[in-house]
Amino acid sequence: MLTRRIKTMLMSAAILILALSLAAAVPGLSTGRRLTADLTGAAEVPGPGDTDGSGSAVIRLNPGREVVCWTITVTGITLPATAAHIHDGDAGVAGPVFVTLSAPDANGEARGCTFVERAEILEIIRNPDEYYVNVHNSDFPAGALRGQLTK
């Protein structure tokens, strides 16, 4: 009986340590300023992109930790995607890559974090509508889906 209780306690401790280490491995995933983007092919510039596709992006910006985290979900496009980025550009304008994100996988999902200079994160926070999320795939290498960031 005592051995079973010790095993249960050890297993619980191991699960807790694993959960804490996973949280530490992805700093800022659930903290920071939250921005979103509705992704469509019609918004792609020059376009159109994949008009059958759609998606969403949630971007978390943490200037204190110098971390940008994201969750991207897409459907209706050829997957896996080949690239995803935050670009510097107003609506209707194609701009340069500002932050490289992981591309959605064969299930249409991408999630991750990357380190970005504090000043660059603050630029996005101050003017989110001047930045957009772009997802590229083999059918639309210049961009399949796009959406401006919003608060």
Sign of CA dihedral 150, 130, 34, 146: positive
Average confidence score pLDDT of the chain: 88
Report whether pLDDT(102) > 90. Answer: yes
Report whether pLDDT(35) > 60. Answer: yes
Mean pLDDT of 21-37: 66
- Higher per-residue confidence, 6 vs 66: 66
Amino acid identity for residue 125 in this structure: I
Map tokens 């500002």 to a residue: 98
Residues 129, 148 contacting (CB under 8 angstroms): yes
Q: Name which of 26, 140, 151, 8 is nearest 83 in CA terms.
A: 140
Report whether pLDDT(1) > 60. Answer: no
- Outline where DSSP puts E strands in the chain: 33-40, 54-62, 67-75, 83-88, 97-101, 109-115, 131-136, 145-148
**Structural domain 31-148, CATH architecture:** Sandwich (2.60)
Report whether pLDDT(15) > 60. Answer: no
What confidence score (pLDDT) does residue 74 get? 99
How sure is the predictor about 47, in pLDDT bands with cuts at 50, 70 and 90? confident
What confidence score (pLDDT) does residue 67 get? 98
Which residues make Cβ contacts (< 8 Å) with residue 99, sequence separation at least 6?
A: 68, 85, 86, 114, 116, 120
Q: What residue spans define the domains of the chain?
A: 1-27, 31-148
Q: 22-31, 74-83, 112-121, 132-141 — which is least confidently predicted? A: 22-31
What confidence score (pLDDT) does residue 81 get? 98
